[in-house]
Chains A and B, each alone.
Chain A
Amino acid sequence: MTVTDTNAQRFSPLHQAHIDAGASFTDFAGWQMPVRYSSDLAEHHAVRTAAGLFDLSHMAEIRVSGPDAGAYLDYALAGQLSAITLLQAKYSLLLAENGGIIDDVVVYRTAESEFLVVANAGNRFAAVDALQQRAARFDVTVTDESDDTALIAVQGPAALAILAQTAGFGASADLRTLRYYRAVTGTFAGIDLPEVPVFIARTGYTGEDGFELYLPNANAAALWDALLAAGTDAGLVPAGLASRDTLRLEAGMPLYGHELTRNTFPAQAGLGRVVNLAKDTDFIGRAASEEGPSAEAPVLVGLISTGKRAGRADYRIFRSLDATEPEGIITSGALSPTLGYPIAMAYVPAPLARLGTEVYVDVRGTRIPATVTSLPFYKRQK
């Protein structure tokens, strides 16, 4: 299956708003999404210091409902989702039988017997297929709601204040006391539009405080405009996928297709804690996870360098200046806009993974020294 064919040239319900804002577009899993509006760096800094507005409508929303929903997700995913409370969120993994990662997801409990699974756009069909196959012996319904659902994220220290000032937008509980990885229901009534429910989650992919807002496609553009109107004075700017990538990299968050693949065991990516081997029921990928990756399997580390030349995805890592065989590979890398020096995530064999180990990155023929460091590279002050 090629996702690009199935998905050829999809457009977000906010596409016209992006054109009007002068966005440059990039193909992302078949979707034409904003890569930047004016400047990647300005958008990145805005999220760190004020707020950024992201269109994530390409992401996949999969509803799981029915009496067995909790037990089913415990079987279908690596975590114990039946244990999360109403309106709690949990990061989880959809594993293959061999223990590899089909997708990483965020799961919300939206009712006693209903959950929302949010999957990556590029893995939408793989995730839906796997979730539907795994539902066979459970009393649940798995519904792909992606085509009807828009997702807007407001990320940054000003996010909370901006939501409080957004016309027509309301939450059913005080957002100031909403904890991270918790959600509430809300509503939005755009001008000349009927009031619709909005699912409001205090989650994100930037390393900042922020919210992710799920609502019907038809109302997304009005909410986008209302958020911008409310937030412009506070420094809110629309932010594209380029800044989203550097923000999540600084925050040490994995990106499917880079740090996570079907050939990656969660333990290699530092996600062993996400695979709940303590739960007393079987789940897909359990046997392989119990066995775990081989001792020689590379593990994910952070790398930092001095200077300005950044290692990037697929660049090779050597243990010395004159070593002839590469021993590791970068999965994501950039000159960190916040920190001012090159950062990267990379897979290296265990002997090179100790904190402080000096390695070399082959940057287009030049070996640049780098130091193994802990993740994340950036942590916000709370």
Chain B
Amino acid sequence: MADKSELKYTSEHEWVLVDGSVATVGITAYAAEKLGDVVFVELPEVGSAVASGTVVGEIESTKSVGELFAPVNGTVTATNAAVVDSPELVNSDPFGEGWLIKVEFTELPALLSFAEYTALTGE
């Protein structure tokens, strides 16, 4: 599990772990809690180009549907097959085993710090 204070965040309740030119993306515990039990995850194809701020996947719970937004412009280099098979990982380990996609990028946009994100959620 990543150190939450070292991660970047978006106002769409996603976390971004930056390692060189690759961003690993997941949804925050706050988002997972709001969604409830996740029962279905749809992720983009590996190799597909994604644009920052656009919807690239879906996270469905029994009660609602959450959209996965790309936090950066780039190319999807990996998706988490484990979370497609076992969507409950998004609830049980949102910052670890519940990661969703990896995106290779050339330029990192402005993202929220941990302090900025927690100020947003009030938690």
Contact = CB atoms under 8 A, between A and B. Distances in A.
Nearest to B58: A364
B36 interface: yes
Given A39-B91, A40-B62, A364-B58, A242 B36 contact: yes
A36 interface: yes
Please give me the 4 A-B residue pairs with the lowest Cβ-Cβ distance, nearest first: A308-B40, A41-B37, A335-B39, A40-B36
A337 B87 CA distance: 13
B105 to A, nearest CB: 26
Contacts of A24: 33
Contacts of B36: 35-36, 39-40, 242
B40 A335 contact: yes
A245 B61 CA distance: 13
B62 A337 contact: yes
Given A41-B62, A242-B36, A335-B40, 4 more contacts: A242-B63, A245-B63, A310-B60, A335-B39
A262 interface: no
A370 to B, nearest CB: 16
A41 B91 CA distance: 12
A46 to B, nearest CB: 13
B65 interface: yes
19 contacts: A24-B33, A36-B36, A39-B91, A40-B61, A40-B63, A41-B39, A42-B37, A242-B62, A242-B63, A308-B39, A308-B60, A310-B60, A334-B62, A334-B63, A335-B40, A335-B60, A335-B62, A364-B58, A364-B65
B63 A309 contact: no
Report the interface size class on chain A. Answer: 10 to 19
Contacts of A316: none
Nearest to B87: A308
Interface string A52-78: 000000000000000000000000000
B22 to A, nearest CB: 28
A246 interface: yes
Interface in A1-53: 24, 35-36, 39-42, 44
A267 B42 CA distance: 39
Interface of B: 33, 36-37, 39-40, 42, 58, 60-63, 65, 91
A124 interface: no
A312 interface: yes
A312 B37 contact: no
A24 B61 CA distance: 15
B54 to A, nearest CB: 14
Nearest to A36: B36
Nearest to B55: A364
B65 A312 contact: yes
B16 to A, nearest CB: 24
Interface in A310-332: 310, 312
B40 to A, nearest CB: 4
A41 B37 CA distance: 7
Nearest to B36: A40
Contacts of A39: 36-37, 91
A110 B119 CA distance: 54
Contacts of B61: 40
B62 A246 contact: yes
Contacts of B60: 308-310, 335
Nearest to B88: A41
Nearest to A308: B40
B21 to A, nearest CB: 31
Contacts of B40: 308-310, 335
A245 B91 CA distance: 20
A334 B40 CA distance: 11
A364 B55 CA distance: 12
B28 to A, nearest CB: 15
A316 B40 CA distance: 20
